[in-house]
Amino acid sequence: MQTNDIILNDSFFIDYFKNHLLNDTVDELTGLINNSTFKSYISYLINKKEKFSIAYLELDNFSNLIDIYGDDVGNKVLKDVSKNLFQFLEQNGVVARIGSSKLGFILLNKTDYKVLHDYYQAIMHSGKILRKNVHCGLYSPFVTATIASVSYPNDVSNLDEAEDKLQRALYRGKCKGRNCFIIWVEEKHKDIVINPLYKETFDKKIRRLFQMFESRTSYSVSGDDMPFIFNYVRDDFLIEYLLYVDENYKVYDSTTADVLGKIKNIDKYLDEDGTISFNYLKDVKDFSQELYYIYDDLGIESSYLLKMNRNNKFYGYFIFATKRTSRLWDSKEKITLFLLGQLYARYLEEHKLVGIQKLILKK
C-alpha cells in the first residue's frame, strides 16, 4: 500500500482501516486506495467543511494501448503513472484508483485557479508522470492523460455534484483532443452536455455508419444522403472542419463549397494506407506549405487526412480537422474515418458524381 502522512495520520483513515479489511480499501495492482475509500474520504472532507480540490486523471487511448501491447504492458503503465503521481503529490493529497484507466486525487487546501493551473501544468510537463515513454521490456509506449478538476466549496456542494462536473469536464478535455487538463469554471463549463454517441462502443459506431450508408443511398441521391452521415460523424467526434480536396487538388470547405486554395500532390508523404495525421500546425509546414496557409487562416491545429481510392480510381482527399491543440487521433477514430472515406468513394462511383457536388453539409 502506498502511504504518506495523510493516510497514516488522518483520523478518517485511522478509523477507516480499523473497520475495513485492507483488501476492501486498497487496489491490488497499484497499491492506491480504491474508489469506495476515495468517495468516503471526499464525503468526510465535505462534512468537515474542508477546502480541497478533486481531480480525475484518465489515461488517453488506454484500451488501444492494451490492444497493441497486451495487458501486462497496460498494467505496467498504470503502475508507473500511479507510483509517480503519488510521489509527486508528496504530502499535498491522496491518490486513488477509481477505474480501469482512471485515477483520482485530492489536493488539500488548494482551490485557487492559478495554483491549480500551475500544479496540473507541472504534472503534465514534469516528465516524471505523463508525456513520456514508459519502458516495459521490449515496448516503450508514450503515455498521456486527460485531467479534470473541481473544487469544494467553490464549484460543488456534495459528492454527486462533484462527480457530475468532473465527468463533464473530463468529457470536455477528451473533446479537445485529450492530453490536456480542464479546471471547472462555472461560466465556461455549465452548459456542457455529454453527447450520448460518445459512450457508444466502437463496433456499434461502425455498424451504425454502414447501416446509415446502406439505407440512405439505396433509394435516393437527393443530396441529403452523405451530408446526413457526415453530420453524424462530425457530432460523434466533435470535428469542426471537414475539408474536401478534389482530383485537381482544389481544397473546399464542405459546409459552403467555397474554394479555400489549391495544394500540390501530397501522395509521397502519406502512410501505406493513404493517410496522415497532424497534432500541431507547425508540423504541416514541411508537409505542404499551401495547406499550412489554409490551416492558419481557419485556425486549424490538428487534422487527419485520408486519400480516397476505389477500383484503382482516385476520388480526392478528406481532411477532418479541429482547432483544438494537439488532438491525439486514436486508432479507432482513424478506422472509422477511413471507412467513411471509402464509403464516400463508393457513393461517388455509384452515382457518377463530382466530389463536392453532393457534399454540402449544414452547419
What domains are defined for the chain? Answer: 5-191 (3.30.70.270), 198-358 (3.30.450.40)
Strand-pair partners of 33: 26, 96
Longest pairwise C-alpha distance within the chain = 74
pLDDT of 221 over the 60 cut = no
Range 70-94 average pLDDT = 94
pLDDT for res 359: 53
What strand order describes the sheet that includes 181-183?
93-97, 102-108, 52-59, 145-152, 181-183
Residue type, 337: L
Range 135-160 average pLDDT = 94
Condensed to tens digits (0 to 9), the pLDDT of residues 118-127 reads 999 999 999 9
Condensed to tens digits (0 to 9), the pLDDT of residues 318-361 reads 898 888 656 677 777 788 888 888 887 887 777 665 555 545 44
Question: In whole numbers, what is the pLDDT of the chain averaged over residues?
Answer: 86
Condensed to tens digits (0 to 9), the pLDDT of residues 160-200 reads 999 999 999 998 888 777 889 999 999 999 988 876 656 66
Cα dihedral 231→236→240→243 (10° resolution): -60
pLDDT for res 360: 46
pLDDT for res 79: 97
CA distance 318 to 296: 18
Mean pLDDT lowest among 213-217, 233-237, 337-341: 213-217
C-alpha distance across the termini of the chain, in Å: 52
